[in-house]
Structure 1
Amino acid sequence: MPILKFPPIESADEQGIVAIGGDLHVESLKLAYKKGIFPWPISEDYPLAWFSPNPRAVFDLNNIHIPKKLKKFINNCSYKITYNTAFERVIRKARDIHQNSIHGTWITEEVIAAYIQLFREGHAYSVEVWEDKELIGGLYGVCFGKFINGESMFHIKDNASKIALLSILSNIKRADIKYFDTQMITNVTGSLGAIEIERPDFLDYVANTTAEKEINFQNFSLHLDFDL
């Protein structure tokens, strides 16, 4: 049964937890993201937690930093980019890669099923990076109107996940979008210029952008000439 209402965001604890419990029904996900909340299953042994951290990590698309070494790599690589051609493979690859890491993964089978359904309804997307016919990196996230985020990414070849991320950032910048929600800063997102903004500012942004017309991924560039 879907969640019908979340507690006030202001009631979140210091970690940003707004609520605990419920399930990943697609209607629960829609309600959550439109309110600036995201699910994070800590593990299969604990109840589902719903987060809205303060501050919130985002990319300001007018202030992306691409290190010189990465620029040189991009200029000389032969990777190919596609959108929304292998969503399930991307989310499962992200699960498999993180599952073998020291921290494990929060991408359970329940998460996979929920986001596949969200993708089928047009509210999730994937970026795929290929070398010949091999899927070597990718990223998936959600999209509501002009609100778009990144949930998780993976790579099995150098810089493939960074190229997936830079591709989506470049394309949504061309679509006149201001922020890309990355939830929290990691080593990768920090190296590319992710910043933190106060939660009230983020929630205002979410309210305004989720009400806008949906993004058309078919218009996105597949080239590596990132306009950032």
Structure 2
Amino acid sequence: MIAQLGPDPHAPFPSPDQALRHPDGLLAFGGDLSVPRLLQAYALGIFPWYSEGQPILWWSPDPRMVVAPGALHVSRSMRRFLRRSAWQVTLNQSFARVIDACAALPRAGQGGTWITADMRAAYRQLHDEGFAHSIEVWRDRQLIGGIYGVALGRMFFGESMFSLAPNASKVAITALCRALVLSGSVLLDGQVKSEHLGTLGFAPVPRAHFLALCAEHASGLRPWPAHSIEPARIQPAALASPLLPASAA
């Protein structure tokens, strides 16, 4: 059995150690998507993920896919593309459009979107309060890619990204990592394991280690970088992280 959350957004979550192994990380259901509840969840390494018609489901999987922002893998071909690109990259200029585009993007094996109308409204509120951020990629003033997530202290919790042109999502996540390097962030959370994240340099870390990092670094607001970044300058500087186990470095 998993815990049911009540209406009080300040009530504590159960310990992530109580999460199910199958499905991996399912911890609780119910509650709401208020800003206090979401901030408490992310600080504890917990995030909401559910489909339309389901109750709100809260997760804390083990292991967790993460990367130090400066350790993102950027291929040689991608570096050449960035140097030559005429695309524009902006930060926090069209958050609502990015999250709407992520929700609308068809995904293999999924009959619908987990980014429900309630989720979009909740993360727009987080954005209004300075905790959620977006990266936008533009070609000829058309939005062709982007990524959004939650920034809490020195950690960033990636939520979703989209691409309407080859390389657009790669440009977005590379720009995000550059912004995180500039802001002094130490870790980008990709949540669950996927082959795509592995190609970008993400690696699994035990949940216990991830939660220790959250306890140390995931609190408060930090300044966010300027409104735009030139593509040629978004390749992350080398930033080896001493916070990851040797097996994940």
Q: Same fold (TM over 0.5)?
A: yes
Query: Aligned residue for 1:38?
Result: 47
SS at match of 1:151: strand
What is the letter of the counterpart of residue 17 of structure 1?
A: L
Q: What is the aligned-residue identity percentage? A: 36
Who is 1:167 aligned against? 175
What letter matches 2:28 in structure 1? A
Q: Structure 1 stretch 53-62 or stretch 64-73: which is displaced more?
A: 64-73
CA contact (8 A) 2:174 2:236 kept: no
CA displacement 1:107-129 (0-9 Å, x = unmatched): 00010111111111111011011
1:27 positional shift: 1.7
Change (3 A) 1:50 1:161: same
Q: How many residues are treated as equivalent by the alignment?
A: 225
Q: 2:124 aligns with which of 116, 121, 135?
A: 116
1:198 aligns with 206
What does residue range 212-227 of structure 1 map to in structure 2 within 5 Å?
A: 214-219=221-226, 222-224=229-231, 225=233, 226-227=235-236
Deviation at 1:219, TM superposition (A): 4.1
1:60, CA displacement in angstroms? 2.3
Correspondences of 1:137-216 after superposition (within 5 Å): 137-211=145-219, 214-216=221-223
The letter of the residue matching 2:19 is: A
2:182 and 2:143 map into 1 onto residues whose CA distance is: 26
TM-score normalised by structure 1 residue count: 0.92
Which whole-Å CA distance do the structure 2 matches of 1:113 and 1:222 have between them? 27
Q: Could you tell me how far 1:130 is from its partner in structure 2? A: 0.5
Deviates more, 1:215-224 or 1:149-158: 215-224
* Aligned-pair CA distance for 1:2: 4.2
CA offsets, 1:79-138, max 9 Å, x none? Answer: 11111110100000111113x654131000010111111111111011011112101100
Letter in 2 for 1:121: E
Q: TM-score, normalised by structure 2?
A: 0.84
The alignment partner of 1:5 has SS state of coil
8 Å contact kept, 1:17–1:51: yes
| Structure 1 counterpart of 2:82, from 59, 63, 74 | 74
1:132 and 2:140 are equivalent in the alignment? yes
Q: Shift in Å at residue 199 of structure 1?
A: 0.9
Q: Please list every run of 5 or more consecutive structure 2 residues that lacks an aligned counterpart in the other structure.
A: 1-6, 238-249
Shift of 1:66: 1.3
Q: RMSD across aligned C-alpha pairs, in angstroms?
A: 1.7
- Match for 2:192: what amino acid? M
Indicate yes or no: 2:19 matched with 1:12: yes
Unpaired runs of at least 5, structure 1: none
